[in-house]
A and B are shown apart, each in its own frame.
Chain A
Amino acid sequence: MNIIVCIKQVPETTEVRIDPQTNTLIREGIASIINPFDMYAIEEAIRLKEQQGGQVTAITMGPPQAESALRQAVALGVDRAVLLSDRAFAGADTWATSYTLAAAIKKLGAFDLIICGKQASDGDTAQVGPGISVHLNIPQITYVKKIEEINIDNIRVERMTEEGFEIISSPLPCLLSVVKEINEPRLPSLKGMIKAKKIELINWSNNDLNIDGDKTGLDGSLTQVIKIFTPPPRRGGQIFEGEIHHSVDKLVDLLKKDIT
């Protein structure tokens, strides 16, 4: 089984600080880690390899320092690592990112499964995984919490929904995005760490992927970030007590005032 895991390097913090002038993340003094949700994707891919045989390839798009995220993935048991790094890729939105990743996956050749974390802890969009599947024209199953069964042709999974879960089958190849309920990621092994030090990464630039410039990076992005800000904290709600119809009247009055 040939499995591809898409990962992202993110700042190690839950409170992302944003420079109000440039609308970009403030990265100074913050360590970089693999996006926590991607750790579940890596773990699931390695478990599948251990059961089914085959190989796991981790792929990331990012600045040259994203190499350390790939090496960390190798230390966990990933066999191959691909770094997509090019100035032309910079500033990509989720469309351009997923387009670039999809192009690299095509170039890697045949695969059975792509696994992504459900979303990145910095951008929180949850769009890149599904975007890749659209660019590759393969089925996608998001929010997967369990792989029930997998063979060379098919997969059956449990997918989280707000009220419970769905059981979905799909032919392979397909793309999964996984939630943290799916497994408990392992720690690296010593052999893995030694391998991670030595392994030669596959480095691809825009030239290697042969993508039109207008489809990558900032130029290829269909969306543009106008402003990023921390929303003001929600103010406490108001509770109307007493007779139900009085409360409803009061609420309607207040809502009307709010609109005007």
Chain B
Amino acid sequence: MDYFLTEEQTMIRDLCRQIAEEKIRPQSAELDEKEEFPWEIIKVLGQSDMFRIFIEEKYGGTGGGVFEFSIATEELSRACAGVAIGYAGTALGAYPIMMFGSEEQKKKYLPDIASGKRLAAFALTESAAGSDAAAIQVSAKKEGEHYIINGTKQWITNGGEAEIYVVFAVTNRSRGARGISAFIVEKGTKGFDFGKKEKKLGIRASATRELVFTDCKIPEENLLNREGMGFPIVMATLDKSRPGIAAQAVGIAQGALDLTVEYAKKREQFGNPITAFQGIQFMLADMATQIEAARALTYAVCREIDRGAKKISKDSAMAKLFASDMAMKVTIDCVQIFGGYGYMKDYPIEKYMRDAKITQIYEGTNQIQRSIIAAKLIKENAGKNKAG
């Protein structure tokens, strides 16, 4: 389908496709098996300006938005969703600085992120604070011109590999969600260590680690925006980043379908390629249609966000919800079409199924997405009744 991409968006798509095919696909099975962080590929992405595309020009970017970023993420995910999230995790870490940082903070951190010199990470989740993000325990205590951070973050994407972390911590426990603040913490700061690297079902090329803060002292200028702004920063960041997860899901599903069509054409049973059977044809047709529907929704939301729409929570949640559920369903069916071969690690398709699962879980589980959508829907409806 023609989505009338701009010339620059087309270049991003083509370039990422080239990187995916030439640099990622040949390595993806090995990266998955060894759970290796793909530094070599990240370097290529940096050289190709892919970290610039979501950052303003005055900070070394090319001035693109969520759409440009999502196009890149989709293409990279077609070859390996694990590599793609190493890339996308940096955007997630950069968004809070882009949206809420001071001029000094933007000047200090964004150019290095744009050039690919330093990766970023977004540190919200804790062992007891997942969907209930306001339940975080990591604390930041003001002492003179510093904050002292204590506690442990869990499952942080790019943990240990990134150098710039946006960390959410409680500054005033009595105020609940309004007592959370966001801080920029750099790797190498005394009292900031990394815990174990998690072993995962999918996206195994990405790094997921604990961040451990022990009396970690950071200067007060590392506070993002002002005290108590943590929760609004989380919400605004995730509203903006969710289309990226939707794009990742679309990429995973498309990558899996591409391999499946190719396989089905070659696989013969009962004297015919299995594409001759209507049962297989209908599965392929359904998958292609679902993918295109998810892509269309994702692109529409990206464009809406980039044009400056204010109320994006519902639409952004819809894209993430629909695309990730679609990716799970499609990749399961792809494995089904591969049959016994699909269940074997010798074939690349089972990885897509393992990778797809996370898109239903992270950056807000799909249950949370439904809550967001329902809450907005009901609120909109209430407004209508009043007006009527």
Contact = CB atoms under 8 A, between A and B. Distances in A.
Contacts, number: 35
Contacts of A191: 49, 52, 62
A161 interface: no
B365 interface: no
Nearest to A191: B49
Contacts of A203: none
Interface string B151-179: 00000000000000000000000000000
Interface in A134-177: none
Contact of A189 (B7, B22, B49): B49
A210 to B, nearest CB: 38
B76 to A, nearest CB: 13
B48 interface: yes
A190 B23 CA distance: 16
A193 B47 contact: no
B128 interface: no
Nearest to B14: A193
B53 interface: yes
B11 A189 contact: no
A186 interface: yes
Q: Per DSSP, are chain B's interface residues mostly helix, strand or loop, or mixed? A: helix
A73 to B, nearest CB: 16
A194 interface: yes
Interface in B1-30: 7-8, 11-12, 15, 18-19, 22-23
B47 A190 contact: no
A102 to B, nearest CB: 33
B136 to A, nearest CB: 37
By size class, the interface of chain A is: 10 to 19
A31 interface: no
A190 B11 contact: yes
Nearest to B49: A190
A190 B7 contact: no
A197 B44 CA distance: 21
Contacts of A63: none
Nearest to B48: A189
A188 interface: yes
Interface string B35-66: 00000000010011110110000000010000
A202 interface: no
A187 interface: yes
Contact of B12 (A187, A190, A197): A190
Contact of A187 (B22, B52, B53, B62): B22
Interface in A172-211: 186-194, 197
Contacts of B12: 190
A191 B44 CA distance: 14
* Of listed A191, A192, A193, residue having the most chain B CB within 10 A: A193
Contacts of B15: 187-188, 190, 193
A194 B68 CA distance: 14
B11 A194 contact: yes
B280 to A, nearest CB: 32
* Of listed B12, B19, B22, B47, residue having the most chain A CB within 10 A: B47
Contacts of B49: 189-192
B7 A197 contact: yes
A189 B52 CA distance: 10
Given A187-B15, A191-B52, A194-B8, 11 more contacts: A186-B44, A187-B23, A187-B44, A187-B47, A189-B47, A190-B8, A190-B48, A190-B50, A191-B49, A192-B49, A194-B11
19 contacts: A186-B44, A187-B15, A187-B22, A187-B23, A187-B44, A188-B15, A188-B48, A189-B47, A189-B49, A190-B8, A190-B11, A190-B12, A190-B48, A190-B49, A190-B50, A191-B62, A194-B11, A194-B62, A197-B7
Interface of A: 186-194, 197
Ranked 6 nearest A-B pairs via Cβ = A190-B49, A189-B49, A193-B11, A189-B48, A191-B49, A187-B48
